[in-house]
Structure 1
């Protein structure tokens, strides 16, 4: 691939040896090129103010001076749509959730393989949101806790107009600006103007943050209750598409061997792509989604499935 067609990557990592290794890894790929690397967030911010936006920013959290998480606000002020991938040793819930709710597109720990790092860079550049299965489950559990809280915000608490609420609802359903414009019979410019006002009123820096605030505050959506009360075990299945978005309304069931082969009740996934299935048997279950086999998984348990279609 010609150099001008390669993905332009910037690395921010305070460990000089690891930073060099990352740069060599990225440059060894035919798809990516490291155009700059820095040992601190301050150096990065100085660079971004006078240079064009990279395709991907590979950012560590533990940095001297301003941490990677603390730098996010400043980075998004310069380039609101920059695609950031965290690569760090920090795998605690607080760091992961802070990155997610601030619009970071992906989160990898430094135990990731070289292939996984390069592959994730390429996927994030194409619009995927990449979090590991464990991270996805933790994030969704957090959403569940917040969504089940009794106190919810009325649109007036954010001074949102009726039209802005319509835009925010469609945004939260995953629609792009062009599709929102078509559904509301407005121009794309009008939708972009509404989004600017929504971001300001919600104190959100980008689409991801606005959607998170909308769900967490109860402005849009509501988690479904788990189904019936039969069965001795509970397994939770999370379905995502190839871009990392939850798959809603999918029909999920399991066939589980045992003394008697058990076929579970069909459950539909909720707004977070989650289906809660109660079952008697345990072991390797064959999972089907909309009547198509989606793989075999150990149950009871929580697991995520990436649908290929």
Structure 2
């Protein structure tokens, strides 16, 4: 299985095949319904509620991406990874959990997951995250990337880390946000970046809209969580 999104003989990109692993049946049903209703980029090909069901189902379906819960009664996501990855290394795992604890993040990443997003993620962001890990990127919810960077700082050849929300911003918007979070006034940002104050205001308005935040103080906290400052 290629690390890039598979294509048919006609050159048409096919759907990313997804397998759901979560011990809550209602949650699995909700994710399946959401993914089926908002996009034709992904296709849910199977689901499981236990480690044993997950290992057998993944081996049978050979999905592109497994959406994997971290905590389950019979061993959790890390155990699924330990049992599946040695025999099916091409299957990509994306952890999807209510937990944002560093220990949980590091455990599943060390076990072989390609990314980690929390269940507060929107349906559209989840689709983007699934497609990104299928293409070979590493994807993390806000602030979780820092845990991974700290844990793997000394490891060479680390995979690039992606933040679905941060990816919405243009490079110039990131520059403006970084200076804004450092306490620069609009006039100082304009001088630093050689743009007009009006352009700075336009970029800030765009960042506020994309992040759905209300003011520069919330933006500063948002930028700090992503280590932009």
- TM superposition score normalised by structure 1: 0.49
Which of 77, 80, 98 matches 2:86? 77
1:85-118 CA-to-partner distances (Å, cap 9, x unmatched) read 1111121110101122222111111111111112
Which of 133, 137, 141 matches 1:128? 137
Which of 122, 128, 133 matches 1:119? 128
Which of 35, 38, 43 matches 1:33? 43
Give the secondary-structure state (helix, strand or coil) at the position aligned to 2:66.
strand
Which of 8, 31, 47 matches 2:57? 47
Give the secondary-structure state (helix, strand or coil) at the position aligned to 1:10.
strand
Aligned partners of 2:68 and 2:93 also within 8 Å: yes
Once the two structures are TM-superposed, the CA of residue 75 in structure 1 deviates from its matched residue by 1.3
Structure with larger RCO (C-alpha < 8 A, sep 6+): 2
More helix by share: 2
Q: Which residue of 2 aligns with 1:219?
A: none
Q: Which residue of 1 aligns with 2:226?
A: 303
Change (3 A) 1:63 1:4: farther
Q: Which residue of 2 aligns with 1:140?
A: 149
Aligned partners of 1:283 and 1:298 also within 8 Å: no
More strand by share: 1
Once the two structures are TM-superposed, the CA of residue 241 in structure 1 deviates from its matched residue by 7.1
Once the two structures are TM-superposed, the CA of residue 37 in structure 1 deviates from its matched residue by 0.9
Which of 5, 23, 42 matches 1:14? 23
Once the two structures are TM-superposed, the CA of residue 125 in structure 1 deviates from its matched residue by 1.1
Change (3 A) 1:106 1:240: closer
Aligned partners of 2:78 and 2:108 also within 8 Å: yes
Q: Where in structure 2 are the equivalents of 1:55-94 lying within 5 Å? A: 55-94=64-103
Q: Where in structure 2 are the equivalents of 1:162-241 lying within 5 Å? A: 172-173=156-157
Give the secondary-structure state (helix, strand or coil) at the position aligned to 2:67.
strand
Aligned partners of 2:140 and 2:162 also within 8 Å: no
Q: What is the CA–CA distance in structure 1 between the aligned matches of 2:152 and 2:119, rounded to whole Å? A: 26
Q: What is the CA–CA distance in structure 2 between the aligned matches of 1:23 and 1:303, rounded to whole Å? A: 29
Please report the RMSD computed on the Cα atoms of aligned residues, expressed in angstroms.
Answer: 3.9
Once the two structures are TM-superposed, the CA of residue 78 in structure 1 deviates from its matched residue by 2.1
Q: Between Structure 1 and Structure 2, how many residues are aligned?
A: 182
1:150-169 CA-to-partner distances (Å, cap 9, x unmatched) read xxxxxxxxxxxxxxxxxxx9
